[in-house]
Structure 1
């Protein structure tokens, strides 16, 4: 791929990641979940085992699209006590790396910093997100999303009720 082709691809991916971050920060979760493919998987390993595999290890989140849609519905409902009132968040996405897989998918990695504000307190969530993205016409969709927190524990953060 030419340099201009790689630049255009990186720009497409970065715009997609920035749009995803904005949807999450604006609590537009229904639109966010629509970014996923029907066979998508979303994983957040525990802080004590960041390389954890949901097939054999305990993880914070291991959602297929059905569970992810249910999570979004709960977070949008009045039954989400952890997020009532909702947290305010601001996401920063950086160090985006894009690699083609040869089968039309893209492997993407990025560093993420999420500031969460709730009940008069603020807490940073620092980590990395790995994606497998698929082209869908002129746009991209998330087939796999793995968010790895760099935190040693969630003691002063409370929980991962926000979508990291």
Structure 2
């Protein structure tokens, strides 16, 4: 495939739109089988296994969350939560140690504001996302999505959806 910068940037925008439109099954299919969604608990956290995280979920756990969000008996989602991503222009990180475009590995960093709402409650989060993308069978897939919140060490209520 040999993804261009435009392909990588368009991928990030398309992924955010899937989440905003609550297309979670389609979103989950963007992940590799060994993919992870990680939200560190501390600034500069280097390892999700040796330190506590707000979230560190493999594809199986993501599947469980997606099924819960779709469930008719998920009373915490009646009515359903909604979300909106406002993204700064994504930047392709060529100097990142995990980036190897010739091998089909790319890293894209995007600053964001994210709003999650349900009923009268609206919560704003800010931070940046680092997508570790790989080319598989001619398409881009997420191997790791790292979501660093500016206030990652704050006390949070339930984060219902995906940033």
Q: TM-score range by the shorter chain?
A: 0.7 to 0.9
Is 1:50 aligned to residue 43 of structure 2?
yes
**Alignment TM-score, normalising by the size of structure 2:** 0.84
The SS at the match of 1:15 is helix
Gaps of 5+ in 2: none
**Pairwise mapping of residues 9-88 of structure 1 onto structure 2 (< 5 A)?**
9-46=4-41, 49-52=42-45, 53-88=47-82
Matched positions, count: 154
Is 1:141 aligned to residue 135 of structure 2?
no
Q: How many angstroms does 1:138 deviate by?
A: 4.2
Gaps of 5+ in 1: none
The SS at the match of 2:43 is coil
The SS at the match of 2:17 is helix
Q: What corresponds to 1:103 in structure 2? A: 103
Tell which has more relative contact order, 1 or 2 (C-alpha 8 A, sep 6+): 2
**Alignment TM-score, normalising by the size of structure 1:** 0.84
The SS at the match of 1:54 is coil
CA separation in 2, counterparts of 1:30 and 1:141? 14
CA separation in 2, counterparts of 1:10 and 1:94? 15
The SS at the match of 2:27 is helix
Q: What corresponds to 1:89 in structure 2? A: 83
Q: What corresponds to 1:118 in structure 2? A: 118
How big is the alpha-carbon RMSD for the aligned residues of Structure 1 and Structure 2?
A: 2.0
Runs of 4+ that moved beyond 6 A: none
Q: How many angstroms does 1:43 deviate by?
A: 0.7
Question: Are 2:84 and 2:114, in contact at CA under 8 Å, matched by a contact in 1?
Answer: yes
The 10-residue stretch of structure 1 (94-103 or 11-20) with the greater mean CA deviation from structure 2:
94-103
Q: How many angstroms does 1:95 deviate by?
A: 3.5
